[in-house]
Structure formats: structure tokens, C-alpha cells
Structure 1
Amino acid sequence: MMGTFWFLLIIGIRPILSLTEADLKRSLLSSAVYDPSVRPRINASHAVHVQLDVQVVYIIGLTERDSSFAQACNIFVSWRDEYLTWNTSDYGDLDSFVVQPSVVWTPDVSVYGRMEINQRIELGQVRVNSDGMVNTKFLGILATHCAMDSEFFPFDYQLCTFIIGSEIYFTSEVAMEIKSLRQLESCKNNPNWNLVHVRKNPKPPFWQVQYCFQRRSLYLAVLYMVPTFMHAVLILISYIVPSEAGEKISFGVSLFLSFMVFLLQLNGDLPEMSTAVPALEIFFMLHMTSGVVSLVVSAISAYITHNNSQQTVSVNKVKDVSTAATNEKRRFPNVRQRFRDTSFLNRAGFVVSLSLILAANFIMFNAKLKSSGCTQ
């Protein structure tokens, strides 16, 4: 008899245990007692306080051409639902259950500035606790608009901002607050950008999240700046080549063509915007201009040398040295003769090319100094 009693007792308990959560959901979420479209406040004048915990997982990158910023992040959302409370002892000490977000009321957490039509983020499954606290989260990729400033490229800092708030409710109805803002160690693994800091800034009725990025410039410096320095040295050396040598012009043309190859490569990395000219582009164009000056001087010098060789040398009477020196002191130098002198042209071209190269280096040094952080 005792064995039959315990057998029947166990058989009777199992259906009770399996139906406890189902009974709880039916009693709380029945359409007769709960409306998911109504704010979960017994007193309608009270606001629903929604707390957000933003966790930055990984920085995918910034795209200058689209002015966009993509990140993998977690947004944990919690609030209190006054209609979803129960006594745990009445339901076998069940203190929480999980339902779909469409079954209960959820706040419309919207991220303004998303690169999508729908600004509202899709929340995952909802966990309801016995005290009425409801928790859910957003896990995924968040792509938002970011106004890029390329003035100090490639030593630039970028400040990307997006706003979190509610599209439907007023602050008197739903009050959102970013409780915490964290960044994981994986954020530092981006090869092109270094996340300097993430800050929250309340802008009632919204919250503003600011990301400060520093570009890792090692790749661009090695790819463009170092070869450009080498080209600058070759441009200055080209002035040493005698004007009579026909290879001087071909040497300058080869340098100019190599600049064009770098320009095509640079076009794929430079941001396409007209608000500011990147410092790297100015640096590159000044070096390219110095090469053009070298090529023009070489062509003019070759032309002058060729014409001088075609002219016949006429024998003039020997002038008195003292008289010639006196006349030379009295008159100004002949500018035309100066420009017909190839050595003078080479010296002038060398000074102009060197000045352009120094100006280009000064611009990059100035960009490195001025780009010291994010500005609003």
C-alpha cells in the first residue's frame, strides 16, 4: 500500500511541476488581464524608468566614403512591470520565466542616426522576474552615421556620436537612462582604429554616446610617406645631373610617372569629401609639384644647352679688363642672361624644390601636433 501511495504521489506531482510555469504565464499574460500595448504602470501618471547598459564588444571600423561607423555591441535593457509580479511560493519557488518580446510591453529603444530606415533596435527574448523586473538585450551590429573630419589625415581623431531615446513616448511616460557604458578588451583589436574613450552625455530627453577614435597611421606612413621621402631625395639629386645629359629629362619623367602610380593608390585610401583637404594629400601634391619644377628646369636647361651648341662663336676684340669691370659695376645684371645660364636655373630650381619639400614636411608635422584629440 505504501509503495502504491508514493507511486501515485510522484505521478501526481510531475504534471503539477510541468504546468507551474504555464499556469503562471496564463494567469499573468492572459488577454483578459494584460495588454502589452499599455505602459506597465498602475498609476498612469508615473513614468516607466528604463535603464540601459551599453557594452562595446568590437569596433568593426569607420568608412570615410559613407561617413559611417560600425560596431558590435550589447545593449542590456531593464525596467519594472507592475503587472508582472507574483508570489514565488505559490508556484513552486519559480522566480522568473522567459517569453517573447511581443507578449509583454517593451520600450521602443531607438538609436538615432542608424544607417537603416528603422531606428528602433530589435530586442531579444525577455526574462520576467517575480518582483516585476524585466530584462532583455540587443546583441548585434550597430551601424550609425559619423561626421568625418579629414583635415589631419592620416594623424586624425574622429568623434562619432549617436543618440538613444524613445520615438513614441515622452519623458513623463518613459524615462530612459544609460546606467553604465563599458568597452571590452576586444575593442583594441581593430587594426586601423584605436578607441580612445567612450562617454555618455545626457541630452534630455535623449542620451548621447560619444566614441573617440584615433587612426593608426603606421600603415599609411610606411606605404606613402617613406617612399615619398625617397622620391624627394631623388628629385634633389636630379639637379646634379649635367644639363647636357639626355637622361636628365627621362629621369624626371620616370619620377613623375612613379608619383602618378602613388596617386592612383592614394585615391583608394583618401576620404572623398570636400569639407577639408587632407594633410597627406597636400603633402603628396607639394612633393609632386617639386618633381614638376625639376622636370621643367631640366627641359629649359636642355633647350638652352642645345641652342648654345648651335650658335657660332664670334671672335670679339679683347676689352680692357678695368673698363669692363667698371661698366659691370655701373649697370644692373642682365636678367635675360641670367635665365640663359643653366647653372642659375638649376640653383633656382633646387631652391624651389627644396622649399616645397620642406613645406610638405612642415604640413605633416603640424598635422601631427594639432591633431591631439577629439573635438566637439
Structure 2
Amino acid sequence: MTTFWFLFLIGIRPILSLTEADLKRSLLSSAVYDPSVRPRINASHAVHVQLDVHVVYIVGLKEKESAFDQACFIYVSWRDEYLTWNTSDYGGLDSFVVQPSVVWTPDVTVYGRLDKRLGLEFGQVRVNSDGVVNTKFLGLLTTQCAMNSAHFPFDYQLCAFLLGSEIYSPKEVAMEIKSVVQLESSKNNPNWNLDNVRKIAEPPYYWQVQYCLQRKSLYLAVLYMVPTFMHAVLILISYIVPSEAGEKISFGVSLFLSFMVVLLQLNGDLPEMSTAVPALEIFFMLHMTSGVVSLVVSAISAYITHNNSQQTVSVNKVKDVSTATTNEKRRFPNVRQRFRDTSFLNRAGFVVSLSLILAANLVMFNAKLKSSGCT
């Protein structure tokens, strides 16, 4: 009995191997099959190619190069009328796998791709007994993305690319994106959130795949906005410091230098493009302007205080003590004399700085409000 089963197993293995080999030779022989010819018996009929795009992972956006990197699956299927057989004639074999160069494959072209080749490089091809051929592209896809940084860091970016055939017309090869699937792993990018992905038909030649990406702004908000708010509080406090104090100007200069340090860090994170001014940059510049106003007011107040003290020393008249202690309000006959009063300058500078700070916050609130999705 053992000898029988041993001979049976030895005998059946070459039969299965020959069956698949015979099938490939009968279908893919150069005498009967040409991989450069469209797989239609009637040449007037189009080859219908179905595409399924699966977004695996969002690598990120290269803002300086306006490039969008993603890892994706693109499943491709079509029907080859020359590759059909009866499964019962080949021991129930209903499919086999070959290299893509052996059979006809559609030239699926990605328009807007930044790589050297626009076409997709397919993996191995599975041929089914009913003539349906399946293959897929798996890899990194780098495409162009026209970015708009007006609402940075609360911005949404709309990235898209086109799929179509470069060689064949729609009457020869009709492509259709059947589905676009967003896998759970595509949400793991630390800087970008894939809000949605959709397909749009652009007849008669192309299909467009659009990605709506939302920037995760928590890191940038904590890194830049929170310290800037702290600087704004210190700028407003600087108006309380008396003009006679010599540290008032040095305090303002220190605040301005700290702004410059943050600005150097900010330049490395801001997108380098001239299409729009980022909201975060406007926010930061308005806060810097309020600091400059505070420093200018402090300098003018110190100058006025210094001049008044010199004029007081040069006067040889001695005022009565009772007159000096009276709390009378001074009235200035014109605006020029009013600007010589340091208290008025401090109040005016406080109002201007506070207005600039509120305007900066309004810019960020407007950017957050308007940036609510991709259009």
C-alpha cells in the first residue's frame, strides 16, 4: 500500500506541472498571441479597463517643491478575449500567473507625476479562465500639488492627479475608476490628515483623483502662537513702566530681539511661495509692529522726560510748596503741546499696540473660520 501511494504522488506531480505549462504554451505562444495587439477579436470594440485606487499612507507634502508623496495600491483589471480556456480540460486549473511583459497590459499613465516615468509599473499578472486579467501597482507615487498657503497653519490643500492612456484613444481603451478607498493606515501621518479622497470623471480621456489634506496645526500653534501671546502681554505691560526708568527702553529692545529669534525659527517652517502671504506670518508681523510702537513711544517719552528735567534745573525760580502740591489739571492750548505729555503718549501707544494685537488675533480667527475644507 505504501508503494502505491508513493508511485501515485510521484506520477501526479509532473502531470499538474505539464498541464499548466501546456496551457501557457497553447495560449501565449508567439504563433497565436501578440502582447502588442489589443485583446479584442473585433478590433472596433474598446478594451474596458477598471481601476481601483487604495490610499495606503500619506507620506507628506514637500511644500518647497509643491510635491505630494503617497503610498498607494492601484488595482487594474480588464478582459483579454484571447486568454480563455475550459478549466475541465486542464485539471480544473482556473488561473495562472505570468510576467506583465508576456501579455497585453494597458498603458495607465499618471499625468502630473514628478518621476521620470509617467506610466505605472505593474507587478505580476493573474490571468483567469474567463479572460479577466488582474494586476496592481504598489509603490510610492509623487505627484504635483498646487498649494495655497493663505490660511497657514489652518490650511487645507487640494492635491490631484489624472489617470488615462497616453497611446490609446477612448474608442480603443476605455478607462474607468471603479472605486477610491481610503485605508485606515492613511490617517497615521503626524502632520497631515486626509480629510477625503474622491474621483472625478473628465471625459473623454481622463479620470481625476483628488485628495483633500488638512494640516494638523497643534504643533505650530503651540510653538509660535502661545509665545507670541506672552510677548503681547509683556508689550502692554511695558506701557506701565515709568518713563523715568532707564530700563524701559532696554526692556522693549529685549522684547524685539526675542521676536527676531522666533522669526528665524518661523522662516524654516513657513512655506516658501509668493502666491499668498500666510496668516501666521501676518499674525507675527502685526505683533512685531506693536512691539516697535512700544519701543518708539518709550524712546520719545524718555526724550521728553530728559528735556523736561533739564529745563527744570535751568529755571532759577523757586516755586511755593503749596503751589507744587496742588493737583490741578494742565490744559494745553494746542495738539503740539499735548504730544509733549508722556502720559498721553503712553495712552495713545497702548491703544495702538492693543489694536494691532487684536487685529493679529482677528487674522488667525478669520483663517481658522474660512479654512473649513477643500473647494
Relative to the length of structure 2, the TM-score reads: 0.93
CA distance in 2, matches of 1:120, 1:150: 30
User: Quick one: which amino acid aligns to residue 359 of structure 2?
Assistant: A
Residues 280-319 of structure 1 mapped to structure 2, 5 A cutoff:
280-311=280-311, 312-313=314-315, 315=317
1:314-334 deviations in Å (ceiling 9; x for gaps) = 54999xx9xxxxxx99xx832
User: Quick one: which amino acid aligns to residue 141 of structure 1?
Assistant: L
CA shift, 1:3, in A, is: 9.8
CA distance in 2, matches of 1:11, 1:115: 53
The answer on 1:251 being equivalent to 2:251 is yes
User: Paired residue for 2:232?
Assistant: 232
The answer on 1:106 being equivalent to 2:132 is no
CA distance in 1, matches of 2:10, 2:180: 50
The secondary structure found in structure 2 opposite 1:210 is strand
1:321-358 deviations in Å (ceiling 9; x for gaps) = 9xxxxxx99xx832222222111111111111011001
The secondary structure found in structure 2 opposite 1:268 is helix
The secondary structure found in structure 2 opposite 1:340 is coil
The answer on 1:216 being equivalent to 2:220 is no
CA distance in 2, matches of 1:37, 1:258: 67
CA distance in 1, matches of 2:316, 2:337: 17
The answer on 1:264 being equivalent to 2:264 is yes
1:211-235 deviations in Å (ceiling 9; x for gaps) = 1111111111111111100000000
Residues 170-181 of structure 1 mapped to structure 2, 5 A cutoff:
170-181=169-180
Give the unaligned 5+ runs of structure 1.
322-327
Give the unaligned 5+ runs of structure 2.
324-329
CA distance in 1, matches of 2:14, 2:305: 108
User: Paired residue for 1:93?
Assistant: 92
1:74-96 deviations in Å (ceiling 9; x for gaps) = 00000000111111111111111
CA distance in 1, matches of 2:82, 2:173: 16
CA separation of 1:3 and 1:257: change in aligned 2, threshold 3 A = closer
1:107-149 deviations in Å (ceiling 9; x for gaps) = 0111111111311111110000111000000011111111111
User: Paired residue for 1:335?
Assistant: 335
User: Paired residue for 2:326?
Assistant: none
The secondary structure found in structure 2 opposite 1:54 is strand
Residues 113-262 of structure 1 mapped to structure 2, 5 A cutoff:
113-204=112-203, 205-262=205-262
User: Quick one: which amino acid aligns to residue 38 of structure 2?
Assistant: R
CA distance in 2, matches of 1:344, 1:12: 108
CA distance in 1, matches of 2:158, 2:63: 13
Q: Percent identity?
A: 84
CA separation of 1:100 and 1:288: change in aligned 2, threshold 3 A = same
Q: How many correspondences in the alignment?
A: 364
User: Quick one: which amino acid aligns to residue 117 of structure 2?
Assistant: N
CA distance in 2, matches of 1:268, 1:43: 60
The secondary structure found in structure 2 opposite 1:136 is strand
CA distance in 2, matches of 1:13, 1:143: 49
- Measured on the aligned residues, the alpha-carbon RMSD in Å equals 2.1
CA separation of 1:222 and 1:10: change in aligned 2, threshold 3 A = closer
User: Paired residue for 2:327?
Assistant: none
User: Quick one: which amino acid aligns to residue 241 of structure 1?
Assistant: V
Relative to the length of structure 1, the TM-score reads: 0.92
CA distance in 2, matches of 1:7, 1:317: 130
1:294-317 deviations in Å (ceiling 9; x for gaps) = 111111111121222222125499
CA distance in 1, matches of 2:333, 2:220: 48
The secondary structure found in structure 1 opposite 2:211 is strand
